Structure 1
Amino acid sequence: MRAGLQMARGLEPRVGQGTTSPTEAARATIRAFTEHDVPAAAALFARVYPEHGWTSQAACESYFREMLFDNPWRDLQLPSWVAEEDGNITGVQAVMPRPMRFRGRPVRVAVSTQFMVDPDKRHSLTALQLAKACLSGPQDLTLADGANDRSRRMWIGIGGTAPLLYSLHWTRPLRPARYVLSLLEGRSAFPPALTLAARPLAALADAGAARLRPNRFYREESELAEDALDPPTMLAHFPDVLDGNALQPVYDARSLAWLLEQTARKTRHGRLRARAVRDGGRRLIGWYLYYVQKGGVSEVVQIAARDGSFDRVLRRLLADAWRHGAAAVRGRLDPRYVQELSDRHCWFRWGHSWTLVHSRHADIMAAIHQGDAFLSRLEGEWWLRFLGG
């Protein structure tokens, strides 16, 4: 719900625009999203998110088709939904099916993304109708991982939950002065000329900080080695690195290759880098995927490790990002590794977006709330490019 259940733009009232009474919402017809609805959905996207405009309407339509109708997990029993009034599409609830496994048994997951309502219908019940249609499907779990607080309140109101553990993010500054400078630049706190002039001073400060014991990223374990990570390697070792998680993603060669290709195309965060970490005997102990962002914050997509090896993989990630010029590294919290992240001087905070879940199965919900699920940024909607590549 970076787009999924993103109601901030589509549902907040605006002065001077028309409204729709709740009684009028009863006329909205909720039905399955078909490929014929793509042009109308793309046009609605442009109205709801004008600041995230695509290069063309055709490009936006093409991405809708690719994600909703050509993804490798398409399941006709888990469709996306539209709200229609008087022949016009006034709302969209996009759904991407994902297969997972819970304690050995297969489960179907519906990932919510692109939850949009026409601005003129923000006071109607259209959003509620769409959300209920989504939750009424045969899936075992519904998941969204980019919702705002307004969305969270509605989600909880219809029986869902917002597990805090999977809504927290960790950040590890690598170049503290440059990191602070990047935050100021992002918020336009100072004139560009001033922040540009401050960069040499920040570099000097960070050179001194790199000599402190916690920041000696250039000193690595000599017995560890790295090489490029590819889908076949990940598939072969998923059983090793996911062992112990009650809820696990399920991939095959086609779906994993497609997902990683799509993730690499999300260049707004930088260049995707994927590395396998091996011990002295060439045994794979884990891997990391992150976007290289020189001088900025490098976003971590996934860290996976064998039991007892997370800290070693994390240290390799931090060292690699430091070598590539990142000011800081940020990722979603994996609740199992709070201690290891804390030991490496990472700090935790809520990142202004919520992970939302809903299931009729109490054991699945309990496992998620206990932190017993492997839910990286590849398993939800974070990697999608609807709101910018």
Structure 2
Amino acid sequence: MSDQATRIRPIEARDIDAVADLFASIMLAWSKPATNDLRQFLRQHFIDGPFADPALPSLVFEQDNAVEGFIGVTAQDLATSDRSYKAAIACALMVRDHAANPLAGARLLRAMLAGTQDLTLTETAGDETLGMLRSQGGVPLPQHSMTWLRVLHPARFAVDFAAKRLPPLGITKPLARFVDSRKRQPAPGAPLKWSRWVPTAPQKGISVQPISPTDFFDLTADLTQPYDIRPHWSDAGRAAMLAEMQSKRLHGDLQLAKVATASGRPLAVAAYYLTREKSAHLLQLLARPGQEGIALDALFAEAHERDAIALQGRTDPRLMNALLGRRVFMVNESSSVVHSRNAELVDTFVSGRALMNGLVGERWSRLVGDRFD
């Protein structure tokens, strides 16, 4: 197909039905057409919502007047103590027929990177996208690019894992529940053993306490102050972010909480998802310097007490030291990447002095963890 028959252009409202069907087929592996819920979400997220910026539009790949590819872009305002930056958050890169259009993905990515943003971020780059980003000057962030998992109820975790591949094995869940109930919680400070999966009790006086959305965002603003580059959200942005965070049905019920001392002093703030007998998902954990381990132990114990079979999250340079020795598995399922023509900006992310992943990225959105049905 000649270049004259194809083009890259900004998304328009009239493209939503085609983009939704593309998303349903490629990202969700559906054989049915897109639902109204999916169409409405894509329009709100990429065109009408507060994170959609006409100056940094999502892009479509058009062939013979038909939408055959897409890359999603939202905008986030990031700030230092004395200036602000516009970040393009790239996501959902997809092409209907890669064999027929082998360069379409690269063209979409290249056009997006050529935008007016100060920097581009993604935390969900697969292997192929990572290779394309590297070829365009993108810099992977290894300490942000691992998913960690802490098993909390080992017998139930093993049965749940096996039953996803062989459903009849789910009949053994009552036995697994009994086996897990026989394991006692170690005392604080007890040595960790691979044979002892039950989390240690949190330090005396430390507890996980639910908080309101307002308190969550206020604490987040406070606990991101140590970062050289941190997010700055409008009221509309916070409301839209919260609405999407509350609608990730594959992950469970959203929990907004603080890890606090007996006097109520917050040591950390967390957003996570919890469903009994399933793995809990930690979206964001921000802790005061030196309190990361205490916060993790408290969340492990809380999730264990509420019958989550495991807790998983995304690595962050400020959490890496605390994760060591806490019996977590790590795997690189997708990569976080930064791209900018400003080398100092890139270095700030590489050195871990900028907040990245979770609330700065795309994982807070319904793109990760919702069914759209």
**Pair in the same fold by TM > 0.5:** yes
CA distance in 2, matches of 1:293, 1:201: 20
Tell me the residue number matched to 2:68.
90
CA distance in 2, matches of 1:377, 1:81: 23
> Which of 95, 108, 117 is 1:139 aligned to?
117
In structure 1, the residue corresponding to 2:140 is in which secondary structure? coil
> Which of 72, 79, 91 is 1:101 aligned to?
79
In structure 2, the residue corresponding to 1:331 is in which secondary structure? strand
Contact 2:51 2:74 in 1 (8 A): yes
Tell me the residue number matched to 2:169.
194
Aligned-pair distance for 1:107?
0.8
Tell me the residue number matched to 2:148.
170
Describe the superposition over 1:161-194 as per-residue Cα deviations: whole angstroms up to 9, x where unpaired. Answer: 22211111221111122222222223x1x4x333
Contact 1:276 1:284 in 2 (8 A): yes
> Which of 308, 317, 332 is 1:335 aligned to?
317
In structure 2, the residue corresponding to 1:51 is in which secondary structure? coil
Contact 1:25 1:125 in 2 (8 A): no
Contact 2:21 2:33 in 1 (8 A): no
Tell me the residue number matched to 2:234.
252
Aligned-pair distance for 1:98?
0.9
Aligned-pair distance for 1:238?
3.1
For 1:328, give the aligned amino acid.
A
Tell me the residue number matched to 2:246.
264
Is 1:380 the counterpart of 2:354 in the alignment? no
Contact 1:97 1:109 in 2 (8 A): yes
Aligned-pair distance for 1:320?
1.3
CA distance in 1, matches of 2:154, 2:82: 44
The alignment of Structure 1 onto Structure 2 pairs a total of residues equal to 362
Higher mean C-alpha deviation, range 56-65 or range 200-209: 200-209
For 2:360, give the aligned amino acid.
E
CA distance in 2, matches of 1:108, 1:133: 17
Higher mean C-alpha deviation, range 53-62 or range 256-265: 53-62
Describe the superposition over 1:191-225 as per-residue Cα deviations: whole angstroms up to 9, x where unpaired. Answer: x333422x233234323433444456473434234
Structure 1: runs of 5+ lacking an equivalent: 1-19
Structure 2: runs of 5+ lacking an equivalent: none
In structure 1, the residue corresponding to 2:209 is in which secondary structure? strand
Higher mean C-alpha deviation, range 119-128 or range 257-266: 119-128
Tell me the residue number matched to 1:30.
8
Contact 2:56 2:73 in 1 (8 A): yes
Higher mean C-alpha deviation, range 117-126 or range 107-116: 117-126
Percent of aligned positions with the same letter in both sequences? 26
In structure 1, the residue corresponding to 2:336 is in which secondary structure? strand
Tell me the residue number matched to 1:237.
219
Contact 1:94 1:115 in 2 (8 A): yes
Equivalent residue runs for 1:12-23 within 5 Å: 20=1
Is 1:203 the counterpart of 2:151 in the alignment? no
> Which of 137, 154, 157 is 1:159 aligned to?
137
Is 1:368 the counterpart of 2:343 in the alignment? no
Aligned-pair distance for 1:239?
4.1
Tell me the residue number matched to 1:7.
none
> Which of 39, 48, 60 is 2:38 aligned to?
60
For 2:313, give the aligned amino acid.
G
Contact 1:292 1:326 in 2 (8 A): yes
Aligned-pair distance for 1:291?
0.9
Contact 2:220 2:269 in 1 (8 A): no
In structure 1, the residue corresponding to 2:264 is in which secondary structure? coil
Equivalent residue runs for 1:198-347 within 5 Å: 199-212=173-186, 213=190, 214=192, 217=199, 219-347=201-329
Which structure dedicates a bigger proportion of its chain to helix? 1
Describe the superposition over 1:67-91 as per-residue Cα deviations: whole angstroms up to 9, x where unpaired. Answer: 1123223322111111222221122
For 2:242, give the aligned amino acid.
L
CA distance in 1, matches of 2:177, 2:47: 48
Contact 1:78 1:138 in 2 (8 A): yes
**TM-score normalised by structure 1 residue count:** 0.85
For 2:325, give the aligned amino acid.
D
Contact 1:90 1:121 in 2 (8 A): no
Tell me the residue number matched to 2:336.
355
Contact 2:52 2:73 in 1 (8 A): no
CA distance in 2, matches of 1:53, 1:110: 31
Aligned-pair distance for 1:125?
2.1
Describe the superposition over 1:108-146 as per-residue Cα deviations: whole angstroms up to 9, x where unpaired. Answer: 111112212121664442212111110011111111111
In structure 2, the residue corresponding to 1:269 is in which secondary structure? coil
1:327/1:226 Cα in 2 relative to 1: closer, same or farther (>3 Å)? closer
Contact 2:293 2:322 in 1 (8 A): yes
**TM-score normalised by structure 2 residue count:** 0.89
CA distance in 1, matches of 2:324, 2:297: 12
CA distance in 2, matches of 1:125, 1:88: 17
CA RMSD of aligned residues (A): 2.3
